[in-house]
Amino acid sequence: MSHYTELSPQEKGKILAFIDKYKKTGKTENLSHSGQPSALNDNEKNALINEVTKNRHEPLHEVINKLKLSCSLTTAKQTLYDAEIHSHIATKKPFISKRHASACISWCEKYKEKTARNWVQVIFSDESSIEIGKHDQKSVMVWECFVGGIKGPLIFCENKEGNEKINSNTYVRILNKHLHPFHHTVCELTGKAATFQQNNASIHTTKITKD
């Protein structure tokens, strides 16, 4: 015990605590600590993962509210991350070509005398491809329109051929199903008919679209 008396008070305390633990538990190894309990139980985690997998376009905060989960957005994101479900940001698109730039300038010159009152009666629309995977090159095509301060529906495009890119047939179906009702709504709200503006993309100028 001569060595014991030469120990510092801190070291003596550790030895006494070690002996006391052995007397109480019969073990010398440290007991595992669970830490702070998870905000979500296994059933809630599975429900979150299943709901997000079913609809990858639904905002996460809406999923949390729908499932009535008592957790923060950060906790939900971490749960999905642990399940290898990650969010994605669309990759940047290349700059427009010189031909497209020239066409844009010509269009601006043609309509430069129009006033703000003219433009609030024009329905603008466009399609956009959003990349959702860096390695597997998956993407989703969306269509949207607006006029003045009135927003139209956001449409996720799918064609009958199952391709990801929108074609003329898909575009015509979108116009018939979503643009016409939106134009009717605009007329009711403003008391005036609106003009539909498109950007001369190839699917906008085909015969089936014009007909």
Phi-psi sector, 199: left (phi>0), alpha (psi -120 to 50), beta: alpha
pLDDT of 134 higher than 80: no
Q: What is the pLDDT of residues 103-113, one digit of tens each?
A: 889 989 999 99
Quick one: average pLDDT of 29-50?
76
Q: Is 102 exposed, middle or buried (CB count within 10 Å of its CB: 0-12, 13-18, 19+)?
A: exposed
Same-domain pairing of 112 and 204:
yes
How far is the CA of 175 from the CAs of 24, 26, 80, 190, 210, in angstroms?
Answer: 77, 76, 36, 20, 11
Is 36 inside a domain boundary? no
Q: Supply the pLDDT for residue 164.
A: 52
Do 75 and 107 have their domain in common? Answer: no
Question: Is 90 among the domain residues?
Answer: no
Instruction: Say if residue 62 is in the same domain as residue 120.
Output: no
Q: What is the pLDDT of residue 105?
A: 93
- How far apart CA 171 and CA 165 sit, in angstroms, is 11
Least confident of 2-6, 18-22, 146-150, 189-193: 2-6
Q: Collapse the DSSP code of 58 into the 3-class scheme (helix H, G, I; strand E, B; otherwise coil) and give the result.
A: coil
Over 80: is that where the pLDDT of 125 sits? yes
Q: Which of 200, 57, 74 is nearest to 142 (CA)?
A: 57
| 73-89 pLDDT, tens digit each | 889 999 999 988 887 66
Do 165 and 114 reside in the same domain of the chain?
A: yes
pTM above 0.75, yes or no: no
Place 1 in a pLDDT band, splitting at 50, 70 and 90.
very low
91 is a domain residue: no
> Are both 66 and 140 inside the same structural domain?
no
Length of the chain, in residues: 211
Least confident of 62-71, 93-102, 152-161: 152-161
Contacts of 110 (CB under 8 A, 6+ apart): none
Cα–Cα dist 165/63, whole Å: 28
- Do 181 and 112 have their domain in common? yes
Q: Which domain holds residue 119?
A: 98-210
**65-70 long-range contacts, Cβ below 8 Å, gap at least 24?**
69/40, 69/44, 70/39
User: What's the CATH number where 188 sits?
Assistant: 3.30.420.10
Domain boundary residue, one of 26, 58, 82: 82
Closest C-alpha to 125, from 178, 164, 169 = 178
37: in domain: no
Among 60-69, 76-85, 195-204, the range scoring the smallest mean pLDDT is 195-204
Separation between Cα atoms, residue 158 and residue 129, nearest integer Å: 12
Are both 57 and 146 inside the same structural domain? no
Q: Which residue has the higher pLDDT, 182 or 203?
A: 182
Do 118 and 206 belong to one domain?
yes
pLDDT higher than threshold 70 for residue 31? no
Taking only Cα atoms into account, the Rg of the chain, rounded to an integer number of angstroms, comes to 31
Number of domains in the chain: 2
On whether both 145 and 105 belong to a single domain, the answer is yes
Residue 137 resides in a domain: yes
3-state secondary structure of 124: strand
Q: Domain ends where: 82, 112, 144? A: 82
Considering 82, 109, 137, which residue would you say is the last residue of a domain?
82
- Residue 12 counted as domain residue: no
Asked if residue 21 belongs to a domain, the reply is: no
Tell me whether residue 26 is in a domain: no
In terms of pLDDT, which residue wins out, 32 or 174? 174
Q: Percentage of the chain surpassing pLDDT 70? A: 81
62, 132: one domain: no
For residues 162 and 206, membership in a common domain is answered with yes
Query: Domain check: are 123 and 154 in the same one?
Result: yes
Mean pLDDT of 55-76: 88
Say what the pLDDT of residue 15 is.
Answer: 77
CA angle 39, 42, 45 (to 5 degrees): 70
Q: Give residue for tokens 């950060």.
A: 74
- Alpha carbon of residue 116 to chain centroid: 32
Question: What was the pLDDT predicted at 5?
Answer: 55
